[in-house]
Structure 1
């Protein structure tokens, strides 16, 4: 289960994705990337809280990510599929 920091990041990104049918898949993929980064930081010797913070910071601005994902997951294209 994501920590509050990870959960907040994911919610912020997904708040910009208008096509609700893609949100679950987007969330799963982002969460996977975050956990990969966290594992890398843990292997480098960081504690879990620091690893989570660094992973979230390393992903970038959640608003920008959400806006870009919204462009790629267009509801009109989604409905056509």
Structure 2
């Protein structure tokens, strides 16, 4: 005849018992850590993309500024060069 403790032990064994609960808990912890790792990897990737885009934007802004400065200075330089030539010719 089964005792009450024996029946409880058998029932726990059929359900998986504490071992199964521990494995489920370990699996959930592992899934959580994988999720945290993936979120961290995603945030790092997002940060690197943002840094790359910021760098690209700043490079573009710098090149645009340099181009506009050159475009602005070129006519002024031509006028100044022409003025110097005129002054040297008549001076």
**TM-score > 0.5, shorter chain as reference:** no
Give 1 or 2 for the bigger CA radius of gyration. Answer: 2
User: Normalising by structure 1, what TM-score?
Assistant: 0.31
TM-score with structure 2 length normalisation?
0.28
Choose between structure 1 and 2 for higher RCO, CA contacts under 8 A separated by at least 6 residues: 1
